Amino acid sequence: MARPGTSGAGASALAQYRAQWRAGRPRRLLVRLALSAAAFTVVAWAWSWQAGLAAAAVVALADTLQRWRVHSPAAAWRKGARGERATARRLRSLELAGYAVLHDRRLPRSKANLDHLVIGRAGVIVIDSKQWHRNTRISGRHGQLWIGRRPADALVKAAAFEARRVAELLRAAGWTVPVTPVVAVHGARLPRWGTLTVSGVTLLRAGRVCGWILRRPARLEAGQVAALGVAAERLFPSYS
């Protein structure tokens, strides 16, 4: 059961992970059977059939655990769902402060989804959760910012698109409000102070997102926030 303030967070990513995990099950079982049979044959020949059975069981268990951890691309979806839920827990404080917070929402006429949509006095913030390895390096090379081995521009392109699309759909519904794209990063060592902005998208440590939002200047009244939250619920339906 989802915790309060995290309802729906990571639902689509988790569904993708489960679907891809199920799709690869037949091949994994065949490989596991072959490994277990090989372990049984070698150990039984060298010692006894009882030792062979024990070795086969150990190999099967080790293979199961290893593939669960690194199965790709399903592992990426699993990590994505974990990051979204962690961000959702942090955003709970904004809900208590009167913000409307929606998780894992469909973006009409697009294959993209919105990890988190925050609506408050500062306007609308589209938050994309990222779970990066703790050793991910952020560096400048060849006149460009790089995150790990990829250009930063490429990693924020989706967040920028989602924010533009949200602004378009809200405008079509009669709401002309600022929509700000943010990437909430888990794991990687982003700056503890200040902000990192790439192509108009702000990248922040996940733990700093709420404070950054609360410090932004107010542009909407409380009544507008409530009405806009209701409109967003309708325009961007939930996956769950």
In this prediction, residue 10 carries a pLDDT of 46
Average pLDDT, the chain: 81
Q: Does 236 have pLDDT greater than 70?
A: yes
Question: Could you state, in order of their start, the residue ranges of all structural domains in the chain?
Answer: 12-70, 76-235
pLDDT attached to residue 160:
94
3-state helix, strand, coil in the chain (%, to 5): 50, 20, 25
Coil vs helix vs strand at 105: strand
How is residue 175 written in tokens?
């709401």
Q: What is the mean pLDDT of residues 20-34?
A: 68
What token pair was written down for 41?
A: 């044959």
Strands (DSSP E) found in 46-167: 100-106, 113-120, 123-131, 138-141, 144-147, 150-151
Comparing 72-86, 162-176, 199-213, which segment has the lowest mean pLDDT? 72-86
pLDDT band at 213 (very low <50, low <70, confident <90, very high): very high
229 pLDDT higher than 60: yes
Residue 118 has pLDDT above 90, yes or no: yes
Helices and strands (H, E) in the chain, number of each type: 7, 9
Sign of CA dihedral 142, 206, 87, 21: positive
- Residue 172 has what pLDDT? 94
**Residue 51 pLDDT class (50, 70, 90 cuts):** confident
Higher pLDDT, 47 or 149: 47
197 vs 11, residue with greater confidence: 197
Q: What is the mean pLDDT of residues 70-75?
A: 51
Question: Does 45 score more than 50 pLDDT?
Answer: yes
Higher pLDDT, 127 or 16: 127
Q: Average pLDDT of 44-68?
A: 82
Of 138 and 34, the structure prediction assigns the larger pLDDT to: 34
Average pLDDT over residues 112-126: 92
Tokens of 160: 């920028």
- As given in the structure block, the two tokens for residue 136 are 């991910």
Q: Region 210-225: what's the mean pLDDT? A: 92
Residue with the bigger pLDDT between 116 and 193: it is: 116
Q: Taking residues 42-51, what's their average pLDDT?
A: 86
* Arithmetic mean of pLDDT, 156-173: 94
pLDDT at 74: 46
pTM score of the predicted model: 0.68
Give yes or no for residue 5 having a pLDDT over 60.
no
Compute the average pLDDT of residues 30-43: 83
